[in-house]
Structure 1
Amino acid sequence: MRNHSGGKNLIYVHMNHTHKYVLSYGIEFPEFMGNIPFKPANLLLLKHKFEDGYFNMHTLLHYASEESIQQLANDDVYRYGDFCWVDFTDEDGLNEMESQSLAELLYLSHMKTPLRPPFYRILGNQYAYLAQEDGFFNKIYYKHWEHFYGMLGGVLSTRIHPKRELSFFGRLRSRSIPPVPLEVLQPYSHFMREGLAFSIEKVAVDRQRAVIPIWVIGDFNDMDEMIEEYEIRSRRAPEGRLVLDRRNSEWQAIIY
């Protein structure tokens, strides 16, 4: 299993707009769950090593309920290797799933690609989450793109750690970093279709601004190759920046 400790220093996203999925590196399951705008009620676990889930007799699969999702998020899902799930609304719908749909989900988790769009009315799912060594290679299908932008904007803001500053009364305080809004990230959607790297290690923060530099590095299925390309490209000037004016808490997209 790879050492992917560098994932905290880099977020890579490659958007496939036609098939509504995103390949990513550097975003882990707990961050996804903590920042996704639409919170799943239950997770049908297709590939996992979670020991505290529930068992569904109709599908012969385990699932995490709303109460146990946080426990799953606290587990080290990276060590699972393959970690795949789809969300679902309630167990009644799960119990009515047809054999064909179940077969499609099993194929999806094995091959990491669907036989048809992986969204099922009977499940009401919004996502299909397919990870190989979670945070190193994630392929996630989104029913609605605004959920992806909301998640990404939240994760980017949580990765910025400004220094504590003296208040008017001489006390140390930390000013929170707001999420990057959808309308600020959307101008980069064309570049996300090419493969975009947000450099966390090169973030600059002072009292007035926070700046995240961005490079277009291309389409990669091999994340080791992606990291090598990022290391080369990041020696040059970035193609864009996300800039936060900390005085008014407003983000701006800058594209060169």
Structure 2
Amino acid sequence: MSGGSDLIKDIIYINGDRRNHCFLTSGITFREFAGNIPSPLQSLLLLKHNFEWTDLNYHTLLEYVEEENVQRLIAADVEQFGEFCWVDVDDINDLDELEPAEIAELLYLAHKKEPIGKPFFPLLKNKYVYLSRDDGWYNKVYYRRLQDFSAMLSKVIPYKLGSFGRRRLLLFQKTRIYPAISKDIMEQLLPYAEDGLLFDLSHKDDSRRGLEIPLFVIGSFSGTDDILENLSEVKREASERAWLIFDKKDQEWKLSFE
């Protein structure tokens, strides 16, 4: 990880596997993920973490966060945890019913960042498997429902644009709020995510027509540093380019391919 770099805040990189409902992302933090998924997180079984507001489940010898402390976790500096891995749990009491083989699968999941079999546990009814190193730099997430990833991304991009606005505007000025990206646009974008899709928010163009964000299909990268250190070259060698445009007149997002 390139310590202290703000560049990661200005890009979103997605390398997805739609068949397995798995998406590797850079540029989306746990806080941004948790704030933009379709329904709030409740109880979480922590597999790797450095969070203090936890309870211990004596059957699994793993720590968990109850719903009352989830907001503390979302507010924490998760990037400083190093590795941060969890699965959500429908009912915390179900942890006591896990078989030894299921506990072993959970430990393997956190250690190897991939499942032995399926990443979803019928007993836990988990919607997500969240596996990260240096949160926001390397996040690998399995989604039970593919549409939950689309819904999250459709809100994260406008959310990040608003966040950037707050950094630059004076206190008395209002932050511009952008609507979520439509389902139709997201359905067009997702196939490109499987080939490595880069949103370059740092080079957005705010014109009279609207806000235009350049997109690049750049292929697979094992680390975010490889992208950021060679960003100009990576974009120049992109196999496809497009623009995600917020049309000020129509007040909606549009997609334009070069």
Q: Normalising by the residue count of structure 2, what TM-score does the alignment of the two structures yield?
A: 0.90
Distance 1:65 1:249, change over 3 A: farther
Q: Determine the structure 1 residue equivalent to 2:212.
A: 211
Q: Determine the structure 2 residue equivalent to 1:120.
A: 121
For residues 173 and 63 of structure 2, what CA distance do their matches in structure 1 show? 47
SS in 2 for 1:252: strand
What does the per-residue CA deviation read over 1:28-73, in whole Å, with 9 as the maximum and x for residues that have no partner?
0000000011322211000000011122112111111111111011
Contact 1:153 1:179 in 2 (8 A): yes
Q: Determine the structure 2 residue equivalent to 1:147.
A: 148
Q: Are 2:130 and 1:109 aligned?
A: no
For residues 251 and 157 of structure 1, what CA distance do their matches in structure 2 show? 10
Contact 2:218 2:237 in 1 (8 A): no
Percent of aligned positions that are identical: 36
Contact 1:42 1:65 in 2 (8 A): yes
Give the letter for the 2:195 counterpart: E
Contact 1:217 1:230 in 2 (8 A): no
Q: For structure 2, which runs of at least 5 residues remain unmatched after alignment?
A: 167-171
For residues 69 and 2 of structure 1, what CA distance do their matches in structure 2 show? 28
For residues 65 and 231 of structure 1, what CA distance do their matches in structure 2 show? 44
1:2-21 mapped onto 2 (5 Å cutoff): 2-3=2-3, 4-21=5-22
For residues 159 and 77 of structure 2, what CA distance do their matches in structure 1 show? 20
Q: Determine the structure 2 residue equivalent to 1:85.
A: 86
What does the per-residue CA deviation read over 1:61-94, in whole Å, with 9 as the maximum and x for residues that have no partner?
1111111111011111111111000001111222
Contact 1:43 1:86 in 2 (8 A): yes
Q: Determine the structure 2 residue equivalent to 1:68.
A: 69
For residues 143 and 160 of structure 1, what CA distance do their matches in structure 2 show? 27
SS in 2 for 1:44: strand
* Alpha-carbon offset, residue 222 of structure 1: 2.0
Distance 1:47 1:173, change over 3 A: closer
Contact 1:150 1:181 in 2 (8 A): no
Distance 1:16 1:230, change over 3 A: farther
SS in 1 for 2:202: coil
Give the letter for the 2:245 counterpart: V
For residues 55 and 254 of structure 2, what CA distance do their matches in structure 1 show? 44
Q: Are 2:41 and 1:37 aligned?
A: no
SS in 1 for 2:203: coil
Q: For structure 1, which runs of at least 5 residues remain unmatched after alignment?
A: 165-170
Q: Are 2:159 and 1:158 aligned?
A: yes
Q: Are 2:200 and 1:199 aligned?
A: yes
Q: Are 2:181 and 1:180 aligned?
A: yes
* Alpha-carbon offset, residue 221 of structure 1: 1.6
Q: Determine the structure 2 residue equivalent to 1:253.
A: 255
Give the letter for the 2:143 counterpart: Y
Contact 1:40 1:88 in 2 (8 A): no
* Alpha-carbon offset, residue 236 of structure 1: 7.5
Residues 1-10 or 58-67, more deviating: 1-10
What does the per-residue CA deviation read over 1:9-38, in whole Å, with 9 as the maximum and x for residues that have no partner?
110000012222111111100000000113
Q: Which structure carries more helix by proportion?
A: 2
Distance 1:156 1:57, change over 3 A: same
SS in 2 for 1:116: coil
Distance 1:54 1:247, change over 3 A: farther
For residues 172 and 58 of structure 1, what CA distance do their matches in structure 2 show? 53
SS in 1 for 2:140: strand
Contact 1:245 1:251 in 2 (8 A): yes
Distance 1:82 1:145, change over 3 A: same
Residues 224-233 or 65-74, more deviating: 224-233
Distance 1:252 1:182, change over 3 A: same
